[in-house]
Amino acid sequence: MSVLSGKKILLGISGGIAAYKTATLVRLFIKAGAHVKVVMTPASKDFITPLTLSTLSKNPVSSSFYHEEDENAVWNNHVELGLWADLFVIAPATANTMAKMVSGNSDNILIATYLSAKCPVYVAPAMDLDMYRHPSTKDSFEKLAAYGNTVIPAESGELASGLHGEGRMAEPENILAFLEKDIEGKLPLRGKKILVTAGPTYEPIDPVRFIGNHSSGKMGYDIALAAANEGAEVVLVSGPTHLSINHSNVKLVKVTSSADMYAACHEHFYNADAAIAAAAVADYRPKVVAEQKIKKNESSLMLELEKTKDILASLGEIKQEQFLIGFALETENEIENAKAKIKKKNLDLIVLNSLNDEGAGFGKSTNKVTFINSHFEEEPMELKTKEEVAQDIINKIKKYYNV
């Protein structure tokens, strides 16, 4: 999964021949999972049509402050456009457009939107060789950088004038790669390694039957994805589930039984900076596993169970600098039981779920949790989606590491 997945990208297009490449750029952004809107200068429409870009982006294209041909038209709100975006990419950025960005000469909707934007702005210059080398252009580069903008270096090659040299707008694929690398390098958890467990465990009775539970694994998968999106290297140890995850920062380790999960967690815990035990691990397993399928001969069946190894407690015993987070699913005496687990298992934080809360528990898209830290300070949260709860948990790790 690209780091651009889910991002809202505003693409600003100014009037240079390289504008024809923006159709490909929009397609690449969409393929990366981003949401795209386009704002154009009037001159850029001589090189590529708004119809093409609106079709590719699946959003209306803004190229003027209002539609002159429609006397009842509502103005195109450049402020809303600027605030909508997570990223503003201006490509191509001509010498004229960059000069206006520096001076604040807001005579078109692209510049007005730029002046309203609160998000990171990337500029991909495109112009002829002599223009690119001119002192005024170099001054624009320096001032744009001083204003906090990021310049995507132009490339060398054949130019529209017939000259050969610097000034070509970076190819769409290279713009995409530049954005991904730049964003990844600034992510707060970059360089951190996080272990996450998810899903149920299945404890075999015989070759075809097992003891399990109703955990879907969604909470753990959402946590893993949230951590990866913040730049962490994630090892996700997952029990049996229908879920999948696609992110370059996530290593998925599939296990079945509690013994499998125990082994996988101990293999990866030593190198982790934090561990989040969201899996619903079986507390008991059959003491003897039948080698053949048990026949239905008797009216009842007696199974002798034994305790499984407590994965979370075992990690608490060996932890050094790791930030260790556990989950507690309770039905009675919730707070007291959760606090007892913090002490017993040497946790830094516990995430308490109560089955008495509507919207919480297995198989739901929402969760209602209470955070309790090692000082027994309680922080009850409102009902949220599991994705939001996952982000809240990752924010606790970020706060711990002051990032």
What lies within 8 Å, CB to CB, of 21 at 6+ separation is 91, 92, 169, 171, 172
Across the strands, what pairs with 188? none
Structure tokens at 94: 């001509």
Residue 195 identity: L
Q: What is the DSSP string of 72-120?
A: TPPP--HHHHHHH-SEEEEEEE-HHHHHHHHHT---SHHHHHHHH--S-
Structure tokens at 161: 């004038």
DSSP 70: -
* H or E stretch covering 350: strand 349-354
Contact 381, 389 (CB under 8 A): yes
Contact 121, 149 (CB under 8 A): yes
Structure tokens at 109: 């909707």
Exposure class string for 222-239: b at 16+ Cβ within 10 A, else e: bbbbbbbbbbbbbbbbbb
Which amino acids are annotated catalytic?
213
DSSP H stretches of helix in 186-236:
218-229
The CA R_g of the chain, rounded to the nearest whole Å, is 28
Residue 158, SS3? strand
| Residue in 247, 241, 215 with CA at minimum distance from that of residue 386 | 215
CB atoms within 10 A of CB 173: 11
